[in-house]
Every structure is written in C-alpha cells, then in structure tokens.
C-alpha cells in the first residue's frame, strides 16, 4: 500500500495528521485545477476548505479508494461546479455546467523554442482552444497536466470510459483542425502529449 493510501486510511480512522498531509499534498493541485473554472481565488479556497471540512466530518462513513487524487478531484469538481452554479442564481440568473469556462495554457518548458515563436503559438493555441468546449479543454488538462488515466477521468467527469475516449479524441481533432500542422506538433511537445 502506498504512503498516500495509508494516509487516507489513517485519516478515515480519525488521524488528523494524516488529513493534514493529504491537504498539504493536494491543496495547490486542486487550487490550480479550480483556476481552470474560475479566476476567483476566494471561491476556490472556500470550496477546498469546505471539501476538507466535509471529509473530516464524514470520515467514519468514507470508503477506501484506489486513488486519493481521483477521489479528491471528483469531489472538488462537483462542489466547485455546484458553487459556481449557485452564485449566479443569487444574482438572478442561472448558469449551467456547460457555460462554466475551463481555461488551459501552455507550460513553461520551452527551452528549445524562441520566445517570439512561443508567443505566436500561444496566441494560435488560445484561438484554437476558444473553438473547443470547456469540457474538451478540461479533459486535455486532466489527461496531460494531471496525468490521469481514462478510468480516473471518466469518474471525475462522470462519463463512461468510452465517452471519455471520444471526448479526448474530439478535443485533439479540434486542435488539429484549428492549428497549422507544425504548431500542432510543437503544442503536443509542450503539453507532453506526443504519445498520442
């Protein structure tokens, strides 16, 4: 059993230190993931804190998991979307999950490419990403930034594994369609998705 799964089981049996370890491990990854949905730091922090408070209060009924990361991302995403859907209702207009934006950007590993070229590619990538759905941008993030397996992504997005594959390949097709071929290849390198 991994240290992470041991910490998960220890927390379930009331070990507060184990929960703090899980919190410290996942706070920044969850925070960064939250920024893909909203730029509002306060909402993201509230949702993370609410999630961990809920975990602690429900620890006796929480089940074992084969992936702590997957469990937390799924729970965080569900709570964040609920909160983002709720906020506009307070102000008088509803928001659907499909309307929530999901932003993605290139990483900073571009030592082989000039800065000017990177800026040009980033501009083209932004335009190509605008043509994708928020869910397509999200699946690219989960697969290639978070390095989740298809089964994990399916659970987080609440899709079947088959639909998860379809969504990813639609997202990649969209990138191919809206980018010049060479720029597309560079972006694959920068996103570390050259295995496709």
pLDDT tens-digit map of 140-170: 888 877 888 899 999 999 999 999 999 988 8
pTM for the model stands at: 0.63
| Residue 30: both structure tokens together | 């969850």
Which has the closest alpha carbon to 66: 139, 129, 151? 151
Is residue 130 a contact partner of residue 177, using CB atoms and an 8 Å limit?
no
- Tell me the CATH class for 103-190: mainly alpha
* CATH 1.10.1740.10 placement within the chain: 3-90
The full 3-state SS of 134-145, as one line of letters, equals HHHHHHHHHHHH
Percent of the chain with pLDDT over 90: 33
Q: Residue 125: which pLDDT band, with cuts at 50, 70 and 90?
A: confident
pLDDT reported for residue 177: 82
The pLDDT of residue 43 is above 60: yes
* CATH 1.10.10.10 placement within the chain: 103-190
The pLDDT of residue 196 is above 50: no
CATH number of 3-90: 1.10.1740.10
The pLDDT of residue 33 is above 70: yes
């Amino acid at each position: 059993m991994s240290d992470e799964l041991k910490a998960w089981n220890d927390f379930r049996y009331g070990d507060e230190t184990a929960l703090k370890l899980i919190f410290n491990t996942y706070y920044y990854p969850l925070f960064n993931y939250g920024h893909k949905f909203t730029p509002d730091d306060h909402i993201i922090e509230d949702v993370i804190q609410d999630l961990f408070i809920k975990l602690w209060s429900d620890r006796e009924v929480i089940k074992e998991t084969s992936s702590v990361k997957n469990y937390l991302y799924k729970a965080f995403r569900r709570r964040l979307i609920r909160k983002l859907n709720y906020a506009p209702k307070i102000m008088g207009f509803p928001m659907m999950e499909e309307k929530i934006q999901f932003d993605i950007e290139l990483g900073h590993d571009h030592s082989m490419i000039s800065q000017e070229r990177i800026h040009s590619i980033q501009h083209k990538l932004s335009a190509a990403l605008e043509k994708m759905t928020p869910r397509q941008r999200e699946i690219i993030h989960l697969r290639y930034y978070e390095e989740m397996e298809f089964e994990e992504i399916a659970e987080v997005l609440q899709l079947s594994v088959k639909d998860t594959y379809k969504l990813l390949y639609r997202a990649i097709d969209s990138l191919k369609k809206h980018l010049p071929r060479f720029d597309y290849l560079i972006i694959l390198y920068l996103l570390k998705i050259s295995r496709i």
